[in-house]
């Protein structure tokens, strides 16, 4: 390939990853590049529901998507966080609530240092009582940030994400992209053509015989990694020694009651079960380790623990958690499952797609493909995958359950980075975000506390505040949070008022599938 400006972008594979990429390219790059997406109806996608994190709002805002229209058309609901049931031990529950702070800071210190002192003295409740997202989730309340709330009010800055039907989201983005000039080609790729000198991909040959050339190729072909793996031979770094779950069953079920404003993750004997509420149905799945439970037992466990009737037969999925050693190789960039897979425990699947797209747009090649761009892109993506991995490992490592699977997880050889996080927090409640890692301090604090990792102490500046004042401060924050939650509408009331899907679409059901796994 000659060193010329990128003009023709070819996306291989549709689904969420492919159509997110196509939509972002036509929105940002406009007429400077052509965007063509190749997919086949013969290769289906699987998706009961998709749980997300608040970062997706930035992506939708980039596309200037109307939120209410998007939620209605994807059978969406809202998400304030993730509820973890039985993860520490059976009978325990906590919520990882979204947001950038717990309670409110006082002086130089974040709230949790004052809370730690009060909690150690028996003068504070669980940390979730001081988080608007956690308390609202538990009470079934939801609203977006209030423009008329006083400055500093917890109601003025509410972090939230969405649950939605992944197939409907892809369809929504497809319509968006095609209206703005993206072209879709139906067909199966039979052969990937490479330049004999540079090794770059020059074209795709379809089963029809048509050849589709391009300058930049985006591999959204799923686990197969048609371009990044099969054609270019990029290696895959396996994370299974840290994250041993390797299979899942997925099935939709009928709704029972109003949808909760949170995703639920329930620990099971050999893994965990997800529950994602949509307007028209509920997505469910059991992620498990095949060394500790048979496929039949896992399927039976899933079906026995649905809130409503199953709307189909469970679908099996197999995976190896990990990532590509390079997501940008020559003139190919892998997005979605072709770039790697992190189990959907913290709903990071779409975020990693979004992150890959945004970093590519930040580092879009001006002329040719300078290796320095690829190296930096790959380093940034590897860092993000690796830090997400450590955050997921924390959930497994810090448990006190009795089953063999969970006992094995307590002996995972954690990375030095994760060990340092744990040791710092256990010493004095210190938490430090590492550069561009996805999860911030609040996320680490909530999950560590929820998993029973308690700090031995707190910052010494706390003791400069009279003890009675510390107790009054913590109590006052709790009352403020509770009062704010009391004025919020219920999740169902908010949906009914602003973004209720048409009645006929809410009665239709879809194919069984996974929250974050697509072939």
Q: What does the angle CA 130 – CA 133 – CA 138 come to, to the nearest 5 degrees? A: 90
Q: State phi, psi for 309 to the nearest 5 degrees.
A: -65, 140
pLDDT tens across 162-191, in order?
Answer: 999 999 999 999 999 999 999 999 999 999
- pLDDT score, position 509: 46
- Our answer to whether residue 421 is catalytic in this structure is no
Which residues share a beta bridge with 11?
37, 218
H or E segment and range at residue 266: strand 263-268
- Around Cβ 463, how many Cβ atoms within 10 Å? 12
- pLDDT score, position 519: 26
- pLDDT score, position 185: 97
The CB-side HSE value for 97 (13 A sphere, CA atoms) comes to: 24
Q: State the Cα–Cα distance between residues 102 and 115, nearest whole angstrom.
A: 10
Residues of the chain short of pLDDT 70, as ranges, are: 1-4, 44-49, 507-519
pLDDT tens across 386-419, in order?
Answer: 999 999 999 999 999 999 999 999 999 999 999 9
> Domain spans of the chain?
8-77+164-238+324-383, 87-159+388-486
Residue 328, SS3?
A: strand
Q: Which residues contact 503 (CB under 8 A, 6 or more apart)?
A: none
Task: Establish whether 346 is an annotated binding residue.
Answer: yes
Residue 230 class from Cβ within 10 Å (0-12 exposed, 13-18 middle, 19+ buried)? Answer: middle
Task: Establish whether 337 is an annotated binding residue.
Answer: yes
Q: 119-141: b or e for each residue (b if 16 or more CB lie within 10 Å)?
A: beeebbeebbbbbbbbbbbbebb
- Topology of the domain comprising 8-77+164-238+324-383: FAD/NAD(P)-binding domain (3.50.50)
Task: Establish whether 79 is an annotated binding residue.
Answer: yes
Q: Which residues contact 302 (CB under 8 A, 6 or more apart)?
A: 249, 251, 273, 284, 285, 286, 314
- Around Cβ 519, how many Cβ atoms within 10 Å? 17
CA dihedral sign, ordered 216, 220, 221, 222: positive
pTM value? 0.95
- pLDDT score, position 247: 97
Which of 225, 232, 279, 290 minimizes the C-alpha distance to 255? 279
Q: State the Cα–Cα distance between residues 341 and 337, nearest whole angstrom.
A: 6
Active-site choice (57, 79, 407, 421): 79
pLDDT tens across 226-267, in order?
Answer: 999 999 999 999 999 999 999 999 999 999 999 999 999 999
H or E segment and range at residue 83: strand 81-85
- pLDDT score, position 44: 62
Q: Which residue has the tokens 């997110």?
A: 20
- pLDDT score, position 371: 94
- Around Cβ 241, how many Cβ atoms within 10 Å? 10
């Amino acid at each position: 390939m000659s060193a010329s400006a990128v003009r023709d972008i070819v996306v291989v594979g549709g689904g969420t990853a492919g159509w997110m990429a196509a939509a972002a390219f036509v929105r940002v790059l406009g007429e400077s590049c052509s965007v063509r997406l190749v997919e086949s109806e013969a290769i289906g996608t699987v998706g009961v529901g998709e749980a997300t994190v608040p970062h997706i709002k930035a992506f939708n805002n980039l596309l200037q998507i109307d939120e209410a229209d998007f939620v209605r058309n994807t059978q969406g609901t809202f998400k304030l966080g993730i509820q973890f049931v039985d993860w520490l031990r059976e009978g325990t529950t906590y919520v990882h609530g979204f947001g950038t702070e717990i309670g409110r800071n006082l002086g130089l210190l974040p709230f949790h240092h004052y809370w730690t002192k009060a909690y150690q003295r028996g003068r504070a409740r669980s940390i979730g009582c001081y988080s608007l997202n956690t308390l609202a989730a538990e009470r079934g309340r939801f609203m977006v940030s209030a423009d008329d709330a006083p400055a500093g009010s917890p109601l003025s800055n509410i972090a939230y994400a969405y649950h939605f039907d992944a197939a409907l989201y892809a369809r929504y983005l497809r319509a968006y992209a095609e209206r703005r000039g993206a072209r879709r080609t139906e067909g199966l790729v039979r052969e990937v053509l490479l330049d004999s000198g540079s090794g770059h991909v020059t074209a795709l040959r379809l089963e029809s015989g048509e050849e589709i050339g391009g300058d930049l190729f985006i591999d959204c072909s799923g686990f197969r990694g048609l371009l990044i793996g099969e054609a270019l031979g990029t290696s895959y770094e396996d994370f299974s020694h840290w994250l041993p779950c390797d299979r899942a069953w997925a099935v939709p079920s009928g709704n029972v009651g109003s949808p909760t404003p949170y995703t639920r993750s329930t620990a099971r004997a050999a893994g965990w079960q997800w529950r994602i509420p949509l307007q028209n149905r509920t997505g469910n799945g059991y992620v498990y380790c095949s060394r500790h439970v048979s496929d039949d037992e896992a399927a039976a466990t899933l079906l026995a623990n649905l809130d409503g009737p199953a709307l189909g037969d469970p679908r099996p999925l197999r995976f190896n958690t990990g990532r590509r050693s390079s997501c940008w190789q020559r003139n190919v960039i892998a997005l979605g499952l072709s770039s790697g897979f992190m189990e959907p425990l913290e709903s990071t699947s779409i975020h990693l797609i979004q992150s890959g797209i945004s970093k590519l747009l930040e580092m879009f090649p001006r002329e040719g493909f300078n290796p320095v761009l690829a190296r930096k892109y790959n380093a940034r993506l590897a860092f993000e995958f690796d830090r997400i991995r450590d955050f997921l490992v924390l959930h497994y490592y810090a448990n006190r359950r009795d089953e063999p699977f969970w006992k094995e997880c307590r002996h995972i050889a954690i990375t030095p980075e994760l060990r340092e996080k744990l040791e710092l927090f256990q010493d004095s409640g210190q938490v430090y975000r590492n550069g561009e890692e996805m999860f911030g301090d609040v996320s680490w604090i909530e999950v560590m506390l929820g998993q029973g990792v308690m700090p031995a102490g707190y910052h010494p500046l706390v003791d400069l505040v009279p003890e009675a004042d510390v107790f009054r401060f913590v109590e006052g924050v709790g009352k403020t949070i509770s009062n704010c939650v009391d004025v919020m509408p219920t999740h169902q009331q908010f949906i009914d008022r602003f973004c209720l899907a048409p009645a006929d679409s809410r009665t239709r059901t879809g194919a069984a599938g996974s929250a974050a796994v697509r072939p």
